[in-house]
Amino acid sequence: MTPPNSTLPWERLTERSPLAARIAAHTAQAIIERRHREGELITESELADANGASRTPAREAMVQLETWGLVRLAPKKGAIVTAVTPEERRDLLAVRTLFEANVRPDAATADALAEALAANLERQESALTRSDLLDFAGADHGFHSLLIQSSGNSVTMEILDRLGPRLARLTYQVIAEHPERIAVFLSEHRVLARHLADADREHYAELVRAHISAGHADAVTVAP
């Protein structure tokens, strides 16, 4: 019952996913987990060989990775893993804050949303127990997506969708450097979920801003 757009590319793969989509998703995952480091060159043939594929889907996967902002295509060479700059972090988090502060939950779907949020919080809890950073980053992304989707506006979700891998990358970096923060995020998420339907939207927006800026505080200060 997870809405289709609330997941990251590797979480929404099915047996029917095209090979190029699979290669792109798995490579995105590897970049976020820093198995490919910033500045590393990934060649087309390397990507093709690693996935037992021909060069055509590998090439398509690289274009996809570029639209996610995870690599920069280098003609005749392949793709170079991008670095997360402080500006990018600031701008991405400003966008996430903007979207979430503007949420107006749709009363008609309140029950389904509460259920989905509860399931997601359980997943976060389980990731915390297992110290599974990637799974927590995925659950965190799912959680924020659920908040944004609670307005019932599929267009806002769609345009934010492409930033998913990059947002997950930011979260992963923070919790990889500060694993103790996972528990803080989880408890803040519980507070956000509880106040999502409150009538006082300005207060809710404040909670969102505080959560997002504090979480990434020493990475960069988020503009109000």
Partner 1 sequence: MTTTPASVPPVPRREPAVVEIDRKALRDHVSELILELLLRGEFAPGERLGIENLARRINVSPTPVREALVQLERTKLITREALKGYRVAPPLDATQMSQLSAARLMLETEAVRLATPLGAEGVERLRAAQRRHAEAGAGIIERGEAAIGDAELTGHYFACDTAFHRVFIESCGNPFIVEMTDALGAQLHRMRQTVSHGVTDVAEAIAEHAAMAEAIASGDPDAASAAVRAHLLRVQDRALRAAGPLGSPGPPSCTH
Nearer to partner 1, 182 or 196 (CB): 196
Q: Choose the binding region for partner 1 from 28-36, 93-101, 191-199, 212-220 (rule: CB under 8 A).
A: 93-101
**Residue 54 in the binding site for partner 1 (CB under 8 A):** no
Residues with Cβ within 8 Å of 155's Cβ and at least 6 positions away in sequence, in order, are none
| Contact pick of 9, 78, 105, 138 for partner 1 (by CB under 8 A) | 78
Nearer to partner 1, 158 or 218 (CB): 158
Give every strand in the sheet of 41-42, ordered side by side.
41-42, 78-81, 71-74
Cα of 193 vs its chain's centroid, Å: 18
Contact (CB, 8 A) for 51 and 17: no
CA distance to 43, 104, 120, 183, 193, per residue, from 186 (Å): 38, 22, 10, 5, 11
| Contact pick of 54, 67, 131, 221 for partner 1 (by CB under 8 A) | 67
| Contact pick of 49, 115, 158, 177 for partner 1 (by CB under 8 A) | 158
Is 38 strand, coil or helix?
Answer: coil
Other beta carbons within 10 angstroms of residue 62's beta carbon come to 23
**Residue 160 in the binding site for partner 1 (CB under 8 A):** yes
Euclidean distance between CA atoms 88 and 150, whole angstroms: 26
| Contact pick of 159, 183, 184, 217 for partner 1 (by CB under 8 A) | 159
Q: Choose the binding region for partner 1 from 111-119, 148-156, 174-182, 202-210 (rule: CB under 8 A).
A: 148-156
**Residue 44 in the binding site for partner 1 (CB under 8 A):** yes
CA distance to 117, 164, 178, per residue, from 149 (Å): 11, 14, 28
Nearer to partner 1, 123 or 216 (CB): 216
Site residues, partner 1 (CB under 8 A): 14, 16-18, 20, 43-45, 56, 59-60, 63-64, 67, 73, 75-78, 91-92, 94-95, 98-99, 102, 151, 153-156, 158-160, 162-163
